[in-house]
Amino acid sequence: MLKPLLLLLVLAGAHSAPLGDLYLPVDDVEILTIENFKKYVENSTSAWLVEFYASWCGYCQRFAPPWKKFATETAPWRDMVRVGVLECSDEINTPICREFGIVKYPTVRYFHENYHFGGGDFGVVVPREFPVTVDAIKKNVIERFMTELSEGRGVYPNLLPYLHSNLEPFFDEENDDIFYGFLVIEEDNYLGGEVALDLHKTPNITIRHALYNNTNLVKNLKIEKFPTLVIIDRNNNSQIITENIEHKKELKSTIVNFLEKEGVKIIEYTPDKKGHLSQDPDPKQHSRALLRQKIKKMGDAVFQMDLETALRYALEREVATSRVIKGDQLVALKAFLSVIKKYFPFGYNSTSFITDLTNLTSSDEVQGVQIQVLVKQAEENGMFSTPQRFLGCQGSANRFRGYPCSLWRLFHYLTVNSVLLNVSNRKANPVEVLSSMHGYIKHFFSCSHCSEHFQKMAAERNLTSVSSLEESVLWLWEAHNVVNKRLKGDTTEDPEYPKEQFPTRVRCPECYQEDGSWKKKEVFKYLKRMYGRYSVRYVGSDTKVLFPGLDR
Ligand SMILES: Cc1cc2nc3c(=O)[nH]c(=O)nc-3n(C[C@H](O)[C@H](O)[C@H](O)COP(=O)(O)OP(=O)(O)OC[C@H]3O[C@@H](n4cnc5c(N)ncnc54)[C@H](O)[C@@H]3O)c2cc1C
Ligand SMILES: *[C@@H]1O[C@H](CO)[C@@H](O)[C@H](O)[C@H]1NC(C)=O
Ligand SMILES: *[C@@H]1O[C@H](CO)[C@@H](O)[C@H](O)[C@H]1NC(C)=O
Ligand SMILES: *[C@@H]1O[C@H](CO)[C@@H](O)[C@H](O)[C@H]1NC(C)=O
Ligand SMILES: *[C@@H]1O[C@H](CO)[C@@H](O)[C@H](O)[C@H]1NC(C)=O
Ligand SMILES: *[C@@H]1O[C@H](CO)[C@@H](O)[C@H](O)[C@H]1NC(C)=O
Ligand SMILES: *[C@@H]1O[C@H](CO)[C@@H](O)[C@H](O)[C@H]1NC(C)=O
Ligand SMILES: *[C@@H]1O[C@H](CO)[C@@H](O)[C@H](O)[C@H]1NC(C)=O
Ligand SMILES: *[C@@H]1O[C@H](CO)[C@@H](O)[C@H](O)[C@H]1NC(C)=O
């Protein structure tokens, strides 16, 4: 007898899209949405730097603080370039992210001033390095500005290096109202560019930089240390050289002090501070927290809802965001669909969905939108038994757990059930699920650093030499524990769900030897019990979809 526990779900309320809370209206970034994106970015008099992100992605979480700080520190640039964020994991925004071909998070794109939609211009990717620092962001952004300038766009001050071998022609390229020149000679830390951007509104001055490898200039000015500031007064052509300025603050204050002494008024652009937007307290928050506590008490349970949500999320928000899928990516997609078809716990009437998908991928290339359409149809035709929401993978805040949690569970589920369905199959391919997972993670998982880590780990831990189905279950278990260990104490860790070696001693005392090492046989039994298809919980599932005709 199946007793659907729909009641609990009612408590969950109508919350579906995980609304990002990485950025708030009080931050110095503009929160873009599908509704205002075009309005702001198209025909804008300033350029735009837009971070496309997913709130569940760990790197996006780590990227957010420096990105906000970058926005705050570059406030004086705001009339030239604006800083925005757009959350792709909010389903409302998904069409924009697809249109712009965002497949990895976070992605920063630069849109030049007077940008127009259509015509194949989807902005330019601004590289971001990890670990992220505000300085690294500034450097990459200034490099972008330099390219814009060299291509004849951008309303920035002259950021291109001074190439002459002496100061004679310094004012030749400048307007008549420029009286003071500041030349920063530096290695490559973009001090000059940054200060030039900060002070671009100050009249009658120009701030340029030259590189240390302009050897003639360096020789002529007898400069030995970098960065060095040279101040040039156009009236009497006097030069003041201040060597070895270390920091931006020092450079800026030297320039500002000089100008103040000369009676020049310093003007720094200050954008309008955005007011606090009033935010409705979420009336469903309390009941959601209650539900989460109940679910948590159920221990290491696997829920149909998380598995179905993982699959839809993967297909809609990752696979379908590619404009065209072909070549190795298509091979990876086929392998993924093949194991989904074999082992995913579809309802009896829902397999046609995966058959259609498989059929679609039998051609040489597939459009992301075609996948999108099939998932949407499946949704409309009631192929899924749950709303698209997380249950066992719901975190204590929206930025925690969610999709990556459900994806792990999906792949554990698939490995375990490939064992259960092939007990007497001697020809079983031991890496069928693992290699399909590897392909999926490599080609589609939008958390790019996770993907890289996983690929590296797969190589180091010899994924391809796994020799039995049982071993494949343990391989994934071990690999996941390596990730858990690495992420313990990380900022992405949900304080209510700390990263532990799995299963914990409390859940599975028999999994541990006395000395604390694993009893793998017991671990295997535990995983089989937990992820086996008959253990899946149907909280929030419409069991009529899963078991049609079954009398309840
Ligand atoms: C392939 C992959 C690689 C990732 N790499 C990174 C990364 O490099 N950096 C990063 O910040 N984030 C990474 N993530 C995300 C991260 O691992 C977590 O998924 C995320 O932080 C959410 O954690 P969670 O607490 O919900 O538990 P998760 O680690 O997501 O685990 C989900 C559930 O699986 C079960 N489980 C836990 N451990 C095991 C195990 N060993 N065997 C079987 N079941 C287990 C538990 O029930 C747990 O609740 C990756 C995710 C995936 C899918
Ligand atoms: C931008 O300008 C183009 C051409 O002038 C116009 O067609 C378009 O509607 C404008 N877009 C917005 C959002 O104002
Ligand atoms: C300084 O620049 C402003 C704006 O270009 C100009 O109007 C002014 O005349 C300049 N100052 C002097 C002293 O030339
Ligand atoms: C100086 O260095 C920069 C980058 O560090 C390089 O692009 C440039 O070509 C170099 N110029 C000369 C003259 O060597
Ligand atoms: C000439 O240069 C000196 C610095 O050597 C400076 O203090 C002075 O203001 C300049 N004079 C004029 C007329 O600009
Ligand atoms: C679903 O499956 C049941 C049992 O196999 C069948 O009787 C029923 O017609 C199916 N319903 C739909 C809508 O396909
Ligand atoms: C596969 O798709 C083609 C083209 O849409 C269709 O003609 C064919 O019937 C489909 N095959 C199956 C098995 O659904
Ligand atoms: C398990 O058996 C099924 C049915 O024979 C087969 O399709 C599948 O590929 C097998 N799984 C593995 C991992 O070999
Ligand atoms: C992977 O294989 C190599 C070579 O066979 C071996 O040295 C290494 O220990 C293996 N690594 C793991 C984690 O099993």
Estimate to the nearest angstrom the gap between the alpha carbon of 242 and the chain centroid.
Answer: 42
Burial bucket for residue 484 (CB in 10 Å: 0-12, 13-18, 19+) = middle
Stretch 322-342: mean pLDDT, rounded? 96
* Residue at 41: amino acid letter: V
Q: What is the pLDDT of residue 388?
A: 86
Find the length of the chain. 552
- Residue 1: which pLDDT band, with cuts at 50, 70 and 90? very low
Domain 4-150 in CATH: superfamily? Answer: Glutaredoxin (3.40.30.10)
Strands (E) in 262-387, as ranges, are 324-326, 365-367
State the Cα–Cα distance between residues 59 and 49, nearest whole angstrom.
18
Stretch 68-93: mean pLDDT, rounded? 91
Q: For residue 79, how many other CB atoms are within 10 A of its CB?
A: 14
What residue spans define the domains of the chain?
4-150, 180-261, 302-421+432-539
- Residue 504: which pLDDT band, with cuts at 50, 70 and 90? very high
Q: What is the pLDDT of residue 11?
A: 35
Q: What is the pLDDT of residue 535?
A: 94
Strands 81-87 and 30-32: parallel
Q: What is the pLDDT of residue 551?
A: 53
Q: What is the pLDDT of residue 425?
A: 86
Ligand with minimal distance to 296 CA? 1
Ligand with minimal distance to 479 CA? 1
Quick one: which H or E segment has residue 350? none
243-274 per-residue burial string, b: 16 or more CB within 10 A, e: under 16 = eebeebeebbebbbebbeeeebeeeebeeeee
* Residue 530 in this model has a pLDDT that exceeds 90: yes
- Residue 156: which pLDDT band, with cuts at 50, 70 and 90? very high
18-41 per-residue burial string, b: 16 or more CB within 10 A, e: under 16 = bebebbeeebbbbbbeeeebeebb
Examine domains 4-150 and 180-261 and report if their fold is the same. yes
- Rounded to the nearest angstrom, the distance between the alpha carbon of 233 and the centre of ligand 5 is 7
Stretch 245-270: mean pLDDT, rounded? 91
State the Cα–Cα distance between residues 125 and 315, nearest whole angstrom.
24
DSSP string, 506-535: TT-GGGB-TTS-B-HHHHHHHHHHHHSGGG
430-440 tens-digit pLDDT:
999 999 999 99
Choose the residue to mutate in 462, 464, 474, 475 for probing ligand 9, maximizing ligand atoms within 8 Å of C-beta. Answer: 462
Q: What is the mean pLDDT of the chain?
A: 89
CA–CA distances in Å: residue 234 to residues 56, 160, 480: 55, 21, 65
Estimate to the nearest angstrom the gap between the alpha carbon of 534 and the chain centroid.
Answer: 35
CA 42 to ligand 2: nearest atom = 13
Ligand 8 is surrounded, with C-beta below 6 A, by 342, 418, 421-422, 425, 428-429, 432, 469
Q: Is 382 in the pocket of ligand 6 (CB under 6 A)?
A: no
13-47 tens-digit pLDDT:
333 333 346 888 778 899 998 888 988 999 999 99
Domain 302-421+432-539 in CATH: superfamily? Answer: ERV/ALR sulfhydryl oxidase domain (1.20.120.310)
Share above pLDDT 90 across residues of the chain, in percent, rounded to a whole number: 68
* Residue 373 in this model has a pLDDT that exceeds 50: yes
Domain covering 180-261, topology? Glutaredoxin (3.40.30)
In the block, which residue shows the tokens 């009437």?
349
State the Cα–Cα distance between residues 154 and 147, nearest whole angstrom.
9
Q: Is the dihedral of CA 504, 508, 511, 516 positive or negative?
A: positive
Q: For residue 183, how many other CB atoms are within 10 A of its CB?
A: 23
- Rounded to the nearest angstrom, the distance between the alpha carbon of 59 and the centre of ligand 3 is 47
**What pTM value is reported for the model?**
0.71
228: left (phi over 0), alpha (psi -120 to 50) or beta: beta
